[in-house]
Amino acid sequence: MLMKGDMMKLLGKIGLILFIMAMICYRYSQINFLNEINEVKNVKTSPLKVEVQRKSGVETLDMNTYLIGVVASEMSPTYELEALKAQCVAARTFVTSRNYQVDDTTNTQVYRDNNQLKEDWGSSFKTYYQKVKEAVLDTEDEILTYHGEVISALFYAQSCGKSANAKDYFGSDIPYLVSVDSASDKQEVDHVQEVCIDVATFMQKLQLDDVPYRVDVPIRYTSGYVNTWQINAQVFSGREVREALGLRSSAFEVTFDGDAFTFITKGFGHGVGMSQRGANAMAKKGFDYQQILKHYYRGVDIIKKTYK
């Protein structure tokens, strides 16, 4: 029979063994992580450099490395390869139109580095990374132009069933950003969202002085997005309402019971340009990335950017 002292020594040895085993497992996981990171570092570099404003300061990246981090952040890596390729060309065009100076947030394009992607993707990191890298390299140097000028390649998560005209949301006509069909977006399980907002919050966010006494039915564009909505004597644009209230879309229906407003929104995003969900649906039907891009950006050319 073990004495108390012997028992304490035995427990101490067991604890030491468990500690050593835990350190070995941790070390192995770190080595495995570094190996995965090193494996994907071998990306063909582009002569183009992008300046990315991050919390730590400005980081200069070659275009291919930057695009991998952007496409992986802006579109799900589970999407079809042709949809990812379409996203690559749109993202490359966008940063080109910004003279290669962006930040890593939704103000321009979201960018996450390999360490962040590894944290998000876990054991799927290598598979997802290789897929996104393939999309980037298969479309290398390709950008979208309209009459020889680089376009503003806007994109968003999903439409209300049609994309919106640029003028309807941003106030300016842009010939390649016009309303097109994207009916497959309506089949997504999260296409519709219901949000209830109490009167006090509603008034505060829309800066209303009087309690709502006149609430008209919103006037819509043919695309389905709200054009204007009158509350009391004030007329708001659909964009103003969406941004003030934090709605997912300016394609909304609304009811008011005297105490609260209930919004039913359709889609997710501003609706101008390429629907990412729509792009994936087209890819599943067999459309390639060039067909997807030319559906959402009308009259554009896909060219290879050359370097002097």
CA atoms within 13 A on the CB side of 147: 3
Alpha carbons 104 and 271: distance in angstroms, whole number: 21
Query: Which 3 state secondary structure label does DSSP give 287?
Result: coil
With residue 239 as reference, give the H or E element that holds it. helix 238-245
Give me the phi and psi of 265, to 5 degrees please: -100, 150
In this predicted structure, what is the pLDDT of residue 40? 55
In this predicted structure, what is the pLDDT of residue 189? 87
Give me the phi and psi of 109, to 5 degrees please: -140, 140
In this predicted structure, what is the pLDDT of residue 2? 46
Q: Which residues of the chain have pLDDT under 70?
A: 1-43, 307-308
CB atoms inside a 10 Å sphere around CB 143: 22
Rg over alpha carbons for the chain, rounded to the nearest Å, is 25
Give me the phi and psi of 2, to 5 degrees please: -75, 135
Query: Which 3 state secondary structure label does DSSP give 51?
Result: strand
In this predicted structure, what is the pLDDT of residue 37? 47
Rounded to two decimals, what is the model's pTM?
Answer: 0.84
